[in-house]
A and B are shown apart, each in its own frame.
Chain A
Amino acid sequence: MSQTFPISVTVNGKVYNREVEPRLLLSDFLRHDLGLIGTHVGCEHGICGACTILFDGEPVRSCLIFAVQANGHEIRTVESLGTPDHLHPLQQSFKDKHALQCGFCTPGFLMTLVPFLEEHPNPSEDEIREAIDGNICRCTGYEKIVEAVEDAAAKLSQAK
């Protein structure tokens, strides 16, 4: 498996040119080749959603995609949102509403929710629960995540 292929991927606005094995998972490429450790791997079979990233703006499981498939595409990870001292409004709402505990699943939730909130600026509770149904959280029981999304939606629509 030593054969490698050149890829050019834009991640969080920066272009990376790398040689990768065709079997390298996108999640491993982001985490270990690029050092973007905010994308977490929980199951590697596409169920838990912890590794969710934006692929050309769409939330996808990075554990189910090979890095070579990202050639020529645009990826966004949790690192593209806020920083510790300047949180994205959704991140701030997660903090304010105690919507995270161990934090391992959190980046996946955020990356699922960023495009969701763009498409659904005033979501109902049922719509929020549907939206995050593909992300598993073992710590929070989801209620506070739902509250955080409602809080963020209110803040974001006010800002518009």
Chain B
Amino acid sequence: MTAKYLSQPIKRLEDKYLLTGNARYVDDIEVPGVLHAAFLRSDYAHAKINKIDVSEARKRPGVVAVFTAEDFGDFWKPGPLQVPPPTAIAGSKFNARTIVPIAKDKIRYSGEALAVVIAESRYIAEDAFDDIIVDVEPLPAVIDLEKAWEDTSVLVHDDLPSNMAALVSQEVGNYEEAKKNADVVVSKRMLVEHVAGAAMENRGFVAKWDEQDQQMTIWANTQSPLTVRGSVARNLGLAESQVRVITPYIGGGFGPKVMTSLSDDVLIPWIAKKLNRPIKWTEDRRENFLATTSERDQIHHCEIALKKDGTILGFKDVFYHNTGAYDSYGMTVPLNTQTHTISNYRVPNFYTEIRMVFTNTMVVTPVRGAGRSEGVFVMERMIDFAAKKLGMDPTELRLKNLLTAEEMPHKTGIIGQDFVANVLDSGDYLDNYQKCLKAVDYEKFRKEIQPKARKEGKRLGIGVVAFTEGTAVGPYEGCKVTISTNGKVTMATGYSTQGQGHQTVFAQIIADQLNVKVEDVKVITGDTGSFAWGAGTFASRGATLVGTASYLAAQKVRAKIFATASKAFGVPEDEIELGEGFVFVKGKPENKITLGDLAIKANPMRGVVEPGVEPGLEATAYYGPPHGATGSGALAVIVSVDPETYKVKVERFVMVDDCGTIINPLILDGQIDGGVSMGIGNTLYEKMVYDENGQMLTASFMDYLMPQATDMPKKIEIIHQHNKSPLNPLGIKGIGEAGAIPPGPAICQALEDAFSEIPLEILESNLNPSIIYDYVKKARNS
């Protein structure tokens, strides 16, 4: 079959609505009779609650109700584990302390909900905060990860003997034995800083209970509509069929919108049912910073052992991972760190240990990059440090150890976030790196550009790193494809969309199979009333899992087209031809049946249907891979450093990426560009800062610096590799997080190169001019 749409730069079908103010987001949902919710949030990071007095707030005109933990009675309980612990890893220890919907007895992070006010307007609801008296006894805050791990630390959860949330170690080979044969061993302590997802749209939730129909309808901008549906049904004792979760257009996700069982999705449905009034809550930016979820925040103690020719013998990494006050999202992030630490290179001996620790900070869940960034950061940094010690060029050391196509599929043996032993399915990591060196013209930079710049008093540096991106993990996703009687096609999936172009890419795959115009395929994402199975939007799995399910479902519908047409024309199926939107018997194009008319024939109103025949030109398909597909790539950056201000400018940015089959090159490059802006932002601008009292000092866009148009390199040069994944029929691998992964280590390497005359060693992932100045000063004095 010829692919008319696959791999073509089809302009997005959803754009015309988004561009004209005709796309509804959750705060645009207007339900008659709606009341507005506002959460009073704690100013303290850690405190014992004596009393929260809401009696005056209840008297305020316009206030309908005020609830504290006590008012929820038996409904109040810690939430479920959204992601289970990794029991597949032998010896793993995990202490589940899941998110509570609203603080009771104790406050565990600044921003935790203390009371919820329901009022006629959001303005009035927030006015009522002034009427609430919060009587608490402040406790010392647990913030420093390494101190928090010690037995002497103040406890976040008093019923646990320590702040250990989890202890998980994995080993392939035997690192300590391998180290005995090493010529060179390098050890470092490194910090990967805390960052926000910071989607431009904050979270939001609207719940409407219909007493007559006994139905709950929810509009939410969640990445996991089916998880929300399941937990709302369980919480309220309803059948899943009584709860419909609709995700309207969503203004970016980037991870944090995957978290459920937060105050809003637990309490608002209960309140809507109790008051029998629709309730709306829209998060504000400060709440998003304080009380959604965020990520990174790891401290690594790494060691690398090598032969003097540069062969890596082994790697050891013991790292502290902040899970925040609760650990409902399990260990997705640190497990990703473990799998991504060694996944670029031949590392025969690897010991990795997660020390996941509770602190008095907001809950940690994936943010674009999601643990991968941390693993790649520490490995790439360690290779740079090892290269310096060996007196080798950092690129030479990489070229020696990178995995090649001949070694694929490569089993690393490290169990990942999907609880499956990691298998690198495809790709040529060495080739990625070589192409990247060539594209940036590494030799020319070293021999001509950099020396010339130095003579002119300019500091230029180059960094070239490798990365992998584990994507497309299971368990599964699915969809239903239907040809309507008007000849148009509808696809429905439980997968929700946040700007990734799903309405176009899934339509492209389906349109090719059914030979219809791409604009005649309407894709419905994340409406549990339309499709009610699936896991959620995370781990760059949409294109691969839902894309493959789209392909499989469309193939089934295609088979039904031929079967129905064969019957209608009274000829064997192999004599049927599928034109654009119609069928005919080969050689007789004048006698057509449109797909719409064929859909009518596929749904007979009288007569006898043969056994096994399902009505309609409709089919459902699911796809679950045996393990994830791993994208890969390399990144070269050239940076300049202002000798006066130490401001860093990214002068060139050349990225090689291999995501297998490209569905839509326009959308693909957009995904990379967006990830890159986050990666550059995380490295040079963005940092969430908590002080020693657990107060977040960066809870606004004035303090948390988002990369702006003038901060980005002028051109993100992208080179695509095309090593298909063998795991799915179209050969797709994910791409959503690639751009966010390698900028940190590449920029660090380039900065050290820009100051190559001094022993500069950058040991943290977020750098502003004053941090760089301090590093340089220290290196000059050493």
A residues contacting B by CB (< 8 A) are 1-2, 21, 23-24, 31-32, 35-45, 47-48, 50, 77-79, 81-85, 87, 91, 94-96, 98, 100-107, 110, 125, 128-130, 132-146
Contacts and interface: CB of A to CB of B under 8 A. Distances in A.
B498 A102 contact: yes
Most chain B CB inside 10 Å of its own CB: which residue of A44, A130, A136, A142 = A142
17 contacts: A1-B123, A37-B25, A42-B202, A77-B21, A84-B20, A98-B669, A101-B670, A102-B199, A103-B15, A110-B19, A130-B710, A133-B710, A136-B706, A137-B200, A137-B677, A138-B674, A140-B673
B698 to A, nearest CB: 13
A103 B250 CA distance: 9
Nearest to B678: A138
B28 A31 contact: yes
Contact of A47 (B201, B249, B702, B714): B702
A41 B18 CA distance: 15
Q: Which 8 A-B pairs have CB atoms at the shortest separation, nearest pair first?
A: A38-B21, A102-B499, A104-B251, A103-B18, A141-B673, A141-B677, A47-B701, A101-B499
A100 B712 contact: no
A102 B30 CA distance: 21
A94 B15 CA distance: 9
B709 A146 contact: yes
B676 interface: yes
Nearest to B197: A138
B22 interface: yes
Interface centre among A36, A41, A50 (most CB of B within 10 A): A41
A84 B702 CA distance: 35
A146 B708 CA distance: 12
Chain B contact residues (Cβ within 8 angstroms of A): what range? 35 or more
A59 B212 CA distance: 48
A39 B500 contact: no
A41 B284 CA distance: 9
A37 B700 CA distance: 24
Listed residue (A38, A104, A132, A136) with the most chain B CB atoms within 10 angstroms of its CB: A104
B20 A38 contact: yes
Interface string B702-724: 10001011101011100000000
B24 A98 contact: no
B709 A133 contact: yes
Contacts of A96: 11
B127 interface: yes
Contacts of A77: 21
Contacts of B706: 48, 136, 138
Interface string B252-281: 101000000000000000000000000000
Given A23-B123, A35-B30, A48-B200, A91 B19 contact: yes
Interface of B: 11-12, 14-25, 27-28, 30, 61, 123-124, 127, 198-202, 249-252, 254, 284-285, 498-501, 666-667, 669-670, 673-674, 676-678, 700-702, 706, 708-710, 712, 714-716, 739
A141 B712 contact: yes
A78 B22 CA distance: 10
Contact of A84 (B22, B25, B254): B22
Contacts of B11: 95-96, 98
Contact of A101 (B21, B500, B701, B739): B500
B249 A87 contact: no
B413 to A, nearest CB: 36
Contacts of B23: 103
Contact of B700 (A39, A41, A47, A91): A47
Nearest to B285: A43
A35 B24 CA distance: 11
Nearest to B11: A95
A103 to B, nearest CB: 3
A133 B706 CA distance: 11
A103 B249 contact: yes
Given A136-B706, A138-B200, A140-B670, A40 B17 contact: no
A85 B17 CA distance: 9
Nearest to A92: B19
Interface centre among B200, B249, B700, B708 (most CB of A within 10 A): B200
Contact of A144 (B27, B252, B673, B739): B673
A143 B17 contact: no
A129 B499 CA distance: 23
A42 B285 contact: yes
Given A42-B202, A144-B670, 12 more contacts: A31-B27, A37-B24, A38-B21, A42-B201, A48-B200, A83-B20, A100-B19, A133-B709, A137-B677, A139-B200, A141-B712, A142-B677
A1 B61 CA distance: 10
A2 B124 CA distance: 10
Contact of B254 (A39, A130, A136, A138): A138
B123 A87 contact: no
Contacts of A23: 123
Contacts of B251: 40, 42, 102-105
Contacts of B249: 102-103
Contacts of A44: 284-285
Contacts of A100: 15, 18-19, 499
A110 B199 CA distance: 19
A45 B19 CA distance: 23
Given A1-B127, A133-B709, A138 B252 contact: yes
Nearest to A37: B28
A28 B11 CA distance: 32
A67 B304 CA distance: 62
